[in-house]
Structures are given as C-alpha cells and as structure tokens.
Amino acid sequence: EAGVAQSPRYKIIEKRQSVAFWCNPISGHATLYWYQQILGQGPKLLIQFQNNGVVDDSQLPKDRFSAERLKGVDSTLKIQPAKLEDSAVYLCASSLGVGGEQFFGPGTRLTVL
Amino acid sequence: GENVEQHPSTLSVQEGDSAVIKCTYSDSASNYFPWYKQELGKRPQLIIDIRSNVGEKKDQRIAVTLNKTAKHFSLHITETQPEDSAVYFCAASRGGANSKLTFGKGITLSVRP
C-alpha cells in the first residue's frame, strides 16, 4: 500500500513569513496526526483529526498555527507568521482508527531564518 | 499530562551484544506503549508495541517488557547488528478515543562493528 505523503520535503522561509504543509494519509485511514519534531527531541503532537473533526489540539499554538482536514482525507498545516523557534521537522501520521498503529510520512523540514 | 522519559540518552554496544533501553511514564492510565526506530533523516517506524494487559512481547531479535507497577517499559535487542544503529523513541498513550502519543526524547544506539 502507498504510504503517507507529505509536501514539500524542505522549506526555508524568513521569520514573519507564512508557510503551509500538505499531507495525504494512507487510503482509508480515518485518523490523521500532525507532529512537530525539534532536532534532538521526540515528536510532539500538534493536532489530531478523526475524519474531518478535531480530537485534540491542546498543544497547537493557535495564535499562529492552524490546520484543517475539510473532506476527511488530505490535510494542511499552516504557520502564520513563522518564528525562529518553529524550525523543525513537521511529521504527518495516519492510522486506521483511534488507537491503531500510526504510520508516519517523510516529514517537511522547515528552516526559519 | 503524560511525561515519558528515556534513559540513557546514548548507548554504544559491540556488534552481537544485547542492548536494553528503558522508559518511564507518569500517567497510570496509559495502556499502550509503542517503540519507534528513526534512522538519520528518515521517518519514525514502529518496531514493536505492547498493551497493558501483557507483560512481555517478542518479535525475533526484539522484545518489550512492561512493569505497570513501576511504570516503566524496556526495549531489548539481542544479537545487535550495525543496521540497528538509529534513534529509538518510546511513547505512551491512554488509547481509546484519544490515542495521543507522548514521546520520549529518544536514545541514540550505536552498534560498533
């Protein structure tokens, strides 16, 4: 089966600019996750969707980060405006349902200058 | 919220030796404990997981043990090979409707040929 797809793979922006990441989960996977992985740390959950509804966004900095999954399939994560500390790898993952094995995408490496 | 800690942060072993990586968690309601392997520049991949209704699970050269009373779980790798060199992350979640994974900071395992 095809894995989780993400684009772009790399992005370099200046602080205060905006950026958007795209994720296409494994076909049929109802649950989608966005994680932030800062260098040298484990992934940190930003937001979890079940179909097109938000299950958990408690660690999403809502003043600058937003995410949507309008049709319950693809998802986009946006940062506006970006800060230096947002430099990280943004990982998307999906699972068949809640509590199921999470499959990760290749990630988008964001560098904020 | 949940806090997951990994010890040690780095581990170096001779090829053929065994490696043990330990994690502790704080939330007694957590009942799902996966281990992920992340090679340099690649996505995290699930290598083994355990649920709280069992104490041990094995898959070829890897095994995971869980001590619910002490709130710790360990990854055991036997007959280590150079390709086992990677960062290993443990995680914990309550499962159910909220399958949010809390990851540890990771341990870098180096297997010396």
pLDDT for A2? 76
Please indicate whether, in this complex, the C-beta atoms of A106 and B96 are within 8 angstroms of each other: no
CB pairs A-B closer than 8 Å: 57
User: Per-residue pLDDT tens for A8-45?
Assistant: 999 999 999 999 999 999 999 999 999 999 998 999 99
Nearest to B73 by CA among B15, B44, B108, B32: B32
* Closest-approach residue (CA) in chain B for A31: B99
Scan for tokens 């076909």, then name that residue: A27
User: Per-residue pLDDT tens for B77-88?
Assistant: 999 999 999 999
E-state strands within A60-99: 65-68, 75-79, 88-95
Percent of chain B with pLDDT over 90: 83
CA-based nearest distance A84→chain B, Å? 21
**Is A101 near chain B, with CB under 8 Å?**
yes
Percent of chain A with pLDDT over 70: 99
pLDDT for A43? 95
User: Per-residue pLDDT tens for B55-72?
Assistant: 899 999 999 999 999 999
Instruction: Please name the residues in contact with A58: beta carbons below 8 A apart, sequence gap of 6 or more.
Output: none
CA-based nearest distance B107→chain A, Å? 9
pLDDT band at B98; cut points 50, 70, 90 = low
pLDDT for B7? 80
Amino acid identity of B84?
D
Please indicate whether, in this complex, the C-beta atoms of A95 and B91 are within 8 angstroms of each other: no
SS (H, E, C) B70-87: CCEEEEEECCCCHHHCEE
User: Per-residue pLDDT tens for B8-43?
Assistant: 889 999 999 999 999 999 999 999 999 999 999 899
CA-based nearest distance B33→chain A, Å? 11
Residue A97 Rama label (left phi>0; alpha psi -120 to 50; beta): beta
pLDDT for B97? 61
Nearest to B100 among A42, A48, A101 (CB): A48
User: Per-residue pLDDT tens for A44-78?
Assistant: 999 999 998 999 999 999 999 999 998 889 999 99
Mean pLDDT, chain B, as a whole number?
93
Question: φ and ψ at B65, to 5 degrees?
Answer: -120, 145
pLDDT band at B95; cut points 50, 70, 90 = confident
- B1 has pLDDT over 90: no
